[in-house]
Amino acid sequence: MNMQYEPLTVDRAQAIVEHAEKEYATGGRFDNTFTPFEAGGASSPLEALQSLYIVIAQRFSFVSQSGSSAAVKTFEEYVAYSRSISMDLFVESTAIESTSGSVTPKTIAMLARIDSFVSFLRTLRPSSPDYWPQVYERPGLAWPVASDSKQVGTSIEKKPWWRFW
């Protein structure tokens, strides 16, 4: 199969995660955590995990700009519910990625700790022009230069989609 590489833009990451959220919301059983992300377009468990991290960074950016205590609470709940999903994706990706050598051991270790990523986000200023390049670098991604325009400002309160986790 000849698959063309598609960069992991913020929009693409959001689409992958939202698809997985919808599938999980149905209450169905899956062979592994990656299955709903794969159906949403993720090419590997690692890309699914990286997508989740990008979505978390997007939501952090919104919360930082809004300053609302309700948005902060919603963000914290999202992170809490994402821990088990991220750990499962980490375990699934480690088996593949650590043997392929496509990602450094440091990046793999960092991906195991969602709280470490959130702490890292708190050291950044989302309004800074280097926010997204730094966000992308942390989980071992190259910043897609011609990235999408709606990275910031998406409401995290549009629907309670994360509550299934």
Mean per-residue pLDDT over the chain, rounded: 80
Residue 129 clears pLDDT 50, i.e. is over it: yes
Residue 15's alpha-carbon distances to 41, 42, 68, 79, 101, in angstroms, are 8, 10, 25, 18, 27
Residues in the chain: 165
- In tens, the pLDDT along 56-101 reads 999 999 999 888 899 999 999 999 888 888 888 877 776 655 555 5
pLDDT at site 161: 47
Give the start-to-end residue ranges of the domains of the chain.
10-143
Q: Give the global pTM.
A: 0.79
